[in-house]
Structure formats: C-alpha cells, structure tokens
Chains A and B, each alone.
Chain A
C-alpha cells in the first residue's frame, strides 16, 4: 500500500546536537511538506518542496534545513540553532496544490 513513512517515531536530542528526521513516500507525489505541531496548537509549515532539488521556506524555517535529492525522500534536519525543538513533526505529501494532504504518522522530538 502507498503511504508516507516517518522515522523514528520518537527522538531525543541533546543540547547543541543536530538530528535528522526521515520522511519517505511511495505515492509518487511531487510535493512534500514538513509541519511542526506544539501541544494544543495548529500545524505550522517549516519547509516544502514541489519538485526534486527545489524547496521553499515556510513560516518557521529558522533552525531547520531540508534536502530533496529524490522524489521519494524529504529529510528534515533540526539544527542546534533551533532553540525550542520539542514538538510533534509531521511530514506530508500531495499530488498537487489542489489535492488534499497525506500525512505520515509523525516524529515526536524531545530535547533532553
């Protein structure tokens, strides 16, 4: 079955450490997205990519970086510059701008 796989499900980061969240899709979607969700809050867009080797910043891109070397993969790196990274991270994809999102199951990141 097609879908989006995020890993790991839980991730712990030490102060000053960079960590990378994985997102893989086999839906053949061109567009992929990263959102962050804090408790009781809505989703906030971090980065998105509409095509391989191209990506754009969202509303809260500071302290994050992405790459899109393959259509299927859109990893997110949370750098040490992100001072408050504890949150639920959601990767999504869609067929085009007028289609609904398919979300992965998320990665819960905690700073220890």
Chain B
C-alpha cells in the first residue's frame, strides 16, 4: 500500500480546472517538500512540480502545487487533452529513510 494517499481518478472537460490531493503524515509531507510527477504509460515519468510549488522550465503555468500540514495538492487549470495522464505525488520520508509515492491519480479529459 502506498504511504501517500491519492484519489484513484478524476476527470474534467477541456478548459476546466481539476485538483488532485495527496495525503501523508508527519514523517513525510509534514516535514519535507512534495514533488509531483506526470506519467503517460510507456514513457519516462516527468517532474512536474518540485519543492511544493516550483515548476521546472518548460512546464506550463497551468500546473500549480501547494502544501498545507500533511497534505498537498496539484491543480491543473485550463485542462487540455494532452494533460490526460497519471499524476503521482512524492516526498522524502524521515522514518523510512527514503522516498514515498502516492498511488497515483488518473486524469481523464472528457
């Protein structure tokens, strides 16, 4: 079972806003930064958001991240068809001395 909890799926029509939540605990999200990855099956995962809300160069500002306490969220505004993918949150876990991932959220563009 993944240490971080994400809802399995969400969907939206083009142009709308969707939010993905990620819930953890005091040893991971509560103490460390949260990072988000976008993954299309058969491809290399892509870093989407790091340090809670930073975007690597080339990532559109439609993607934004936030963190509060032991939870984090990823928002996608102006949803586009190419955003259809799986999204994973991740954080360092001080108790496990390693990285923990969420189970992933599949975003479907209707």
Asked if A pairs with B, the answer is: no
